[in-house]
Amino acid sequence: MILTLTLNPAVDHTARVDEALTPDAIHRADDAQFDPGGKGINVSEYLLELGTETVATGPVGGFTGEFLRSNLAELGVPTDFVDVDGRTRLNTTVLADGEEYKLNHRGPTLSEDAVDDLLDTMTEWAPDVVVVAGSLPPGVSPSDVDHLAAAGDWETFVDVDGETMQALDASYAGCKPNRQELAAATGRAVDDLEGCLAAARDLQSRGFERVVASLGGDGAVMVTPTATYYAPALDVDVVDTVSAGDSLFAGVLSALVAGESDRVALETGVAVAARAVSVPGTVVPTLGGIERDVERVSVSEY
């Protein structure tokens, strides 16, 4: 079973207005959308669609925390959140006159007791794999992530920002940077495939058994203890790239826990991401027949 830990979950609020934003004016939105947010939560949603046993946890509080609980319950996503003081953050995106404006809250400050409660929850579930994903809230440091990773009999994968990834000291089963995070974690140029491969190998040597780097429209790289793989993205009509990296990560993890090879895991991740970018927003697409898409993915070894 895969437990996902989102240390700073959010409610994503998207509003659309039909005019340019101007100071001191009142702008009215015709519609608004509220969705559960957070990398770990996204991964659990895709794992569920792939038929992989999962549970999502993290700290939640206030009315936004209650929204997360109820919304994910409606979606059928198993959760075991930890109550904390303060409110789960609200991240607002305003789409206006062809522009996109974002305002993200920092999130509530977590105490040492809250981190301990999260560890207790993880221990109770006794997962095979733990995924720590997303930004770190106030009060949580990379050393806390190291502690959570090493505290139980589980393999830990991380999907955190590059600076946090660089600061981690524990040994990890793997990490999932995007291109920008790969550059930040290694200080290397990642403008071309060779640069991405070199940076991923560098990161792998620092204590990550596997590095799965999502490269957007250029596909993905996977470095393992024995091989380096590259897979270009499938040729599909791209509607929205939201959650593309999370869907790829979920596909890789689902295949690995099912006992598939690293090559097949990368193929599966790229195939799932192709489905994800073919639908708008954070909607998880139907993944029935994904095996046919997996067969279309071409993987090269470097």
Q: Per-residue pLDDT tens for 55-72?
A: 999 999 999 999 999 999
Residue 13 CB neighbours (<10 A): 17
Among 35, 144, 146, 246, the one annotated catalytic: 246
Q: Which residues of the chain fall below pLDDT 70? A: none
Q: What is the pLDDT of residue 245?
A: 95
Q: What is the pLDDT of residue 290?
A: 96
Map the chain to HEC letters: CEEEEECCCEEEEEEEECCCCCCCCCCCCCEEEEEEECHHHHHHHHHHHCCCCEEEECEECHHHHHHHHHHHHHHCCCECCEECCCCCEEEEEEEECCEEEEEECCCCCCCHHHHHHHHHHHHHHCCCEEEEECCCCCCCCHHHHHHHHHCCCCEEEEECCHHHHHHCCCCEEEECCEHHHHHHHHCCCCCCHHHHHHHHHHHHCCCEEEEEEECHHHCEEEECCCCEEEECCCCCCCCCCCCHHHHHHHHHHHHHHCCCCHHHHHHHHHHHHHHHCCCCCCCCCCCCCHHHHHHHCCCEEC
Q: Give the C-alpha separation, 279 to 242, whole Å.
A: 9
Q: Per-residue pLDDT tens for 252-291?
A: 999 999 999 999 999 999 999 999 998 877 779 999 999 9
Tokens describing residue 237: 């009509």
Q: What is the pLDDT of residue 76?
A: 96
Tokens describing residue 70: 């109820």
Is residue 144 part of the annotated active site? The answer reads no
Q: What is the pLDDT of residue 247?
A: 97
- Strands 129-133 vs 54-57: parallel, antiparallel or unpaired: unpaired
